[in-house]
Amino acid sequence: MKALVLTGGSGVRLRPFTYSTPKQLIPLANKPVLEHVVTHLRELGVTEICLLTGDWADAISAVMGDGSRLGVSLTYLRQDQPLGLAHAVQTARPFLGDDDFLMYLGDNILADAAGRVAEIVAEFRERRPAAGLVVQKVADPRAYGVAEVDTDGSVLRLVEKPPQPRTDLAVVGLYYFTAAIHEATDAITPSARGELEITDAVQWLIGRGSEVVARRYSGFWKDVGQAVDVLQCNRWLLGELTTDVRGEVDPVSELCGQVVIEPGARVVRSRIEGPAIIGEGTLIEDSWIGPGTSIGRDCVVRDTYLLDSVVLQGASIRTPRRLHGSLVGRFATVGPGEQGDPGHRLMIGDHARIEMTVA
């Protein structure tokens, strides 16, 4: 079995970060989103993986390489225009051939610590339906593909972003297909928004009596489409860390809970409460770093109280005020400014400078 990972999408809701970095490369627990996706696929037993790219092809291939570092083989194909998920399958046909495959949306995080996704995929591989869907109950299904599922798990109907959903079962960003999907993608026509929808292709299979099944997943699932999603995914993935201290921690500093200090990092007169990760070459000095915080490589954090935040490579932070729920971009600088309000909540783009008030 192979896998197709879709890495397109403009990431509009994550600007300004996505002006310079695709959202699939934003780090969660100091690893790019795509690395988490590829690692999950390897854990599911898939090592032949195609990354279907768009405008960010060079940036993605530079970070992900040939996959050998992660124990997989990566192939790159390009989808020049975002014409829908079914069009993505058509574009990847030279790689897929007639093999069964998983299609994984490259901006989705499924934290499968309990192994439920692995169970579902194993069942699909053995049963080999024409299409296998992973579904989850959501509060507002109007933003998703929505499945109507019979009591035996057979999919009766699939609709893309219905204005009045008939069920609350959203299709998660992981699909299983046999070669039957190729006939379906060739048979359908573009939707009202001009795209070849994968939901229409699956519905075409249902209409011709092919077996399409769905299995429910209730674990963590999130599309990293907005800043709040990045922070939530980061927090969840940090919770799966095991303490690993390979940097320097001076005798007066304290580490509590699950804390990773990467090689070359230094912690001086500071307290770090996990789950948290400090990247290579980073200096933490006279600071308190709280749970849910990832600090990338080559950062400097001084005199700062920071929690539940993601700090990207090369950033510099020095503020006596508490920072929380913040994204700090690459090589951004946060420092003291004039007196003012007692607290701040920040989303800071790459190379930005924010001056903070001092009490």
Structural domain contains residue 322: yes
Same domain? 61 vs 150: yes
Tens-digit pLDDT profile for residues 271-299: 999 999 999 999 999 999 999 999 999 99
**How, if at all, do strands 244-245 and 322-324 pair?**
unpaired
Q: Nearest-5° angle of CA 237, CA 308, CA 258? A: 50
Whether 222 and 255 share a structural domain: no
In angstroms, rounded to a whole number, what is the distance separating the alpha carbons of residues 285 and 202?
A: 55
Q: Are residues 286 and 144 in the same domain?
A: no
Within-domain flag for 181: yes
The whole-angstrom separation of Cα 77 and Cα 89 is 11
pLDDT class of 242 with cuts at 50, 70, 90: very high
The confidence band for 186, taking pLDDT boundaries of 50, 70 and 90, is very high
User: How much of the chain exceeds pLDDT 70, in percent?
Assistant: 91
pLDDT score recorded for residue 18: 67
Q: Domain range spanning residue 334?
A: 241-356
Is 14 a member of any domain?
yes
Query: How many structural domains comprise the chain?
Result: 2
- Tell me, yes or no, whether 249 and 199 share the same domain: no
Task: Report yes or no on 339 lying in a domain.
Answer: yes
Do residues 145 and 83 share a domain? yes
pLDDT of amino acid 315: 93
The reply to whether 235 falls in a domain is no
Which of 112-121, 123-132, 291-300 comes out lowest in average pLDDT? 112-121
197 and 65 co-located in one domain: yes
* Boundary of a domain, candidates 230, 263, 297: 230
Confidence of residue 329 (pLDDT cuts 50, 70, 90): confident
Q: Which pTM value belongs to this model?
A: 0.89
Last residue of a domain, one of 197, 230, 263: 230
Tokens 């005798």: give the residue.
Answer: 251
Element (H, E) at 295: strand 293-295
Using 50, 70 and 90 to split pLDDT, how confident is the model at 342? Answer: low
CATH code: domain of residue 203: 3.90.550.10
- Sign, CA dihedral 313-317-322-327, equals negative
Quick check: is 236 in a domain? no
Whole-number average pLDDT of the chain: 89
| 262 lies in the same domain as 168 | no
Q: CA distances (Å), 139 to each of 86, 143, 160, in order?
A: 26, 10, 16
Quick one: 199 and 266 in the same domain? no
Given a contact cutoff of 8 angstroms between Cβ atoms, the answer to whether 291 and 276 are in contact is yes
C-alpha 350, offset from chain centre = 19
Last residue of a domain, one of 183, 204, 230: 230
- 199 and 255 part of one domain: no
Q: What is the pLDDT of residues 7-48, one digit of tens each?
A: 977 667 777 676 778 888 999 999 999 999 999 999 999 999
Note whether 18 and 72 are same-domain residues.
yes
- Residue 199 resides in a domain: yes
Any domain includes 88: yes
By residue count, the chain amounts to 359
Residue 277 shares a structural domain with residue 128: no
Q: Are residues 78 and 44 in the same domain?
A: yes
| CATH classification at residue 256 | 2.160.10.10
